Chain A
């Protein structure tokens, strides 16, 4: 019986091909949009996570216990002893790599004028195991430890008309709140993935920054990359415990705690699920409308089938299956299209360079959507289920009509 109803439902789809195609297309567009949207959010989230790990916080971050309280005053004196941190890290499981970094505000002095920039002190030898700086340096080479050298963000260099080999004098406040200056040679130009870094960053050997800021053996923060499968907050807890046990407590946090934006992105993921539901409900209104029109047109047929002994629930099944066939095909087409577009964009990327100029966010100018198979499968079933539920409402209404009333329809 079910098979015969299914066959009839399938044949009914061909009755008005244009209308069936329109309904399927509405579902397809909704499914495709959501697949792309999820991939875009996934890509954004992954990109932000990579950037936070590489340039801002690490998976886990160690700072001086008082740093957060005085952060707005640029407290370069509130540092972490690198040896103490190394000792705590070496006693903690789940750590892949770590780097000390010191970020400080600075001015570039050019012919009596100061230009604001951000200096970053980095141990380039250790950085090699943490991020691929060679890839980032588009021209020239990395600075050498112990030498007054630096790499400069490409946009900053272009804005200030600097090139490789130029000598640049920077000024900053030291740990003892005095002023110090240093002249450094540009050995390379760096194209950081984040627009803000390109337009203001100077990367200098950490030992030279320690000398400049008068913070020997210390760094402003230790950035840690956790090993796969390890929970960031758990690793942070363990490091904090190790530091406290050694009598050198530090402020240890994981990425989610440190970046408001990243936390919001995780929240946004939930919000996008709700948006996805609205998309499908919108697409489903076409299905509801189509089913209502179909039922209205086939009212006599409903009466006939009912007179022949077809139960209300069998009538519901007939229309439900019609909706299910259309939505299954529409959702499949939409998901396939969404996958193709996502894979293509994931390869070539979406260029937000112009839009990201002057935006201080930890997001790369080139965005690569990331396809999530579980989410794509979810989108497919979600769209089919919502469309079927949309069909259910008018179908149930039709099944309640008295056969004699249905037969009177012209």
Chain B
């Protein structure tokens, strides 16, 4: 489903060039629950951003669902993200002026979905993530865990085939973090959605079916777990 072929990404940091990814190659199949782990600066967020089509690579190629996303222009990438990808951010990144319902519904309104369907799907997904009755709360009236649940609902409501989560539990206490992981795992199993998340948390790694370890921009290990 996702084919990453010899990807290189360098950053300019002042006058120094940072080699974030040094020839990473990886294949991810549909329905996998994959963790990209490694210490800070290992390149895990960069890899996630490249898969998520929100950054440009310097060398190599990324193909998702047989489409060479790395060769797409900005508009094509936006269209691709809109239809196929869901995002969960470490800091939730909800729109503060919108309620939980509106934050989730907003994503569907970007697609060609009727108002009635937007309402139905939004209410269903909020119920699934355990936020029934909290639809009208603004993010500021929700706990960190609840905000991340809204973010997961927002990522899943359009039924994407891939959800990318950048350190989804880093801002949560261990109990809430585990709840979020269980929820993501449940969604992965229930909907067959491919989850790829970055982390450096041991507990999070333990939840993954596949663990890809990065070090200094290169894959150090790639192991499947049952």
* Beta-carbon contact of A1 and B109 below 8 Å: yes
Q: A307-B54, A307-B87, A310-B110 are in contact. List 20 more A-B contacts (CB 8 A).
A: A4-B106, A4-B109, A8-B98, A8-B102, A8-B106, A14-B97, A300-B91, A305-B95, A306-B54, A308-B81, A309-B85, A309-B110, A311-B78, A312-B75, A402-B55, A403-B55, A404-B49, A404-B54, A404-B55, A407-B93
CB–CB A407/B54 < 8 A: yes
- Interfacial residues of chain A within 1-51, with CB under 8 A of chain B in the complex: 1, 4, 7-8, 11-12, 14-15
- Among B49, B75, B79, B154, find the residue whose CB has the most chain A CB atoms closer than 10 A: B49
CA distance A300 to B91 in the complex (A): 10
- Complex formed: what's the CA distance from A294 to B160 in Å? 31
B33 within 8 A of A: no
A251 within 8 A of B: no
Within 8 A of B (CB), among A285-324: 300-301, 303-312, 314
| B200: interface (CB < 8 Å) | no
Evaluate contact between B82 and A403: CB separation under 8 angstroms: no
Distance of A402 Cα from B95 Cα, bound (Å): 19
Q: Which 9 A-B pairs have the closest CB atoms?
A: A309-B82, A403-B54, A11-B97, A4-B109, A404-B55, A304-B93, A309-B81, A404-B54, A307-B87
Residues of A within 8 A of B102 (CB): 7-8
Instruction: Let me know if B8 is at the binding interface, CB within 8 A.
Output: no
Inter-chain CA distance A312–B98, complex, in Å, is 20
B71 CB-CB contact with A under 8 Å: no
- Known contacts A402-B54, A407-B54: does B97 contact A8 (CB below 8 Å)? yes
Residue of A nearest to B75 (CB): A311
B98 near A308 with CB under 8 A, answer no
The answer on a CB contact under 8 Å between A309 and B78 is yes
Q: Chain A residue with minimal CB distance to B77? A: A403
How many Cβ-Cβ contacts under 8 Å join chain A to chain B?
69
Contact code string B11-51 (vs A, CB < 8 Å = 1, else 0):
00000000000000000000000000000000000000100
Residue of A nearest to B96 (CB): A15
The chain A residue sitting closest to B160, CB to CB, is A309
Q: Which of A300, A307, A312 contacts B52 (CB 8 A)?
A: A307
Q: Does A312 contact B74, Cβ atoms closer than 8 Å?
A: yes
Q: Chain A contacts of B83 at CB under 8 A?
A: 309
Of residues 88 through 111 on chain B, the ones whose CB sits less than 8 Å from some CB of chain A are: 89, 91, 93, 95-98, 102, 105-107, 109-110
A-side interface mostly: helix
- Residues of A in contact (CB 8 Å), total 25
The listed residue with most A CB atoms (<10 A of its CB), out of B49, B55, B75, B110, is: B110
Closest to B94 in A: A304
A contact residues around B81 at 8 Å (CB): 307-309
Please name all residues of chain B whose beta carbon is closer than 8 Å to the beta carbon of A300 when the two chains form the complex: 91, 93
Q: In the complex the two chains form, what is the Cα distance from A314 to B54 in whole Å?
A: 17
- B56 interface contact, C-beta 8 A: yes
Kindly list chain B residues whose C-beta atoms are within 8 Å of the C-beta of A402.
54-56
Q: Which residues of chain A are near B87, meaning CB under 8 Å?
A: 304, 307-308
B175 to chain A, nearest CB (A): 26
Q: Inside 8 A of A303's CB, which chain B residues have their CB?
A: 54, 93
Name the B residues within 8 Å of A307 (CB-CB). Answer: 52, 54, 81, 87
Size bin of chain B's contact surface: 20 to 34
CB distance from A341 to the nearest CB of B (A): 35
Question: Residue of A at shortest CB range from B83?
Answer: A309
- A407 contacts which chain B residues (CB < 8 A)? 54, 89, 93
What is the CB-to-nearest-CB distance from B94 to chain A, in angstroms, rounded to a whole number? 8
- What CA separation (Å) do A12 and B95 show in the bound complex? 10
Give min CB distance, B128 to chain A, whole Å: 19
Q: Which residues of B contact A4 (CB under 8 A)?
A: 105-106, 109
Answer whether A8 and B95 are a contact pair too, CB < 8 Å, given A309-B83, A403-B54.
Answer: yes
Contacts of B74 in A (CB 8 A): 312
Instruction: Decide yes or no: A301 and B95 within 8 Å by CB, A402-B54, A407-B54 being known contacts.
Output: yes
B47-82: CB near A (< 8 Å → 1, else 0) gives 001001011100000000000000000110011011
* Contact residues in A for B89 (Cβ distance below 8 Å): 304, 407
A12 to B105 Cα, complex, angstroms: 17
* Complex interface: chain A residues within 8 A of B93 (CB): 300-301, 303-304, 407
Residues of A within 8 A of B107 (CB): 308-309
Please state if A12 and B97 are interface contacts (CB–CB under 8 Å). yes
Please report the C-alpha to C-alpha distance between residue A300 and residue B55 in the assembled complex, in whole angstroms.
15
Q: Which B residues are CB-close (under 8 A) to A404?
A: 49, 54-55
Q: For the complex, give the distance between the alpha carbons of A11 and B95 in Å.
A: 11
A303 to B79, CA, bound (A): 15
Q: Which residues of B contact A306 (CB under 8 A)?
A: 54, 78
Compute how far the CA of A308 lies from the CA of B81 in the bound complex, rounded to whole angstroms. Answer: 7
Residues of B within 8 A of A11 (CB): 97-98
Complex CA gap A403/B53 in Å reads: 9
Contacts of A310 in B (CB 8 A): 78, 82, 110
Alpha-carbon distance between A308 and B156 when the two chains are bound, in angstroms: 11
User: Which residues of chain B come closer than 8 Å to A311, judged between CB atoms?
Assistant: 75, 78
Closest chain B CB from A136 CB (angstroms): 64
* 15 contacts across the A-B interface (CB closer than 8 A): A1-B109, A7-B102, A8-B95, A8-B106, A11-B97, A303-B54, A304-B95, A305-B95, A308-B87, A309-B78, A309-B82, A309-B83, A311-B75, A314-B110, A407-B89
Bound together, the chains give a CA A305 to CA B54 distance in angstroms of 11
Bound-state CA distance A303–B55 (Å) is: 11
B91 — nearest CB in chain A belongs to which residue?
A300
A312 to B106: give the CA distance in the assembly, Å.
16
B171 to chain A, nearest CB (A): 14
CB distance from B87 to the nearest CB of A (A): 5
Residues in A neighbouring B95, C-beta threshold 8 A: 8, 301, 304-305
Complex alpha-carbon distance, A19 and B74, angstroms: 33
Provide the bound-state CA to CA distance between A1 and B112, in Å. Answer: 9
Least distance between B203 CB and chain A CB atoms (Å): 25
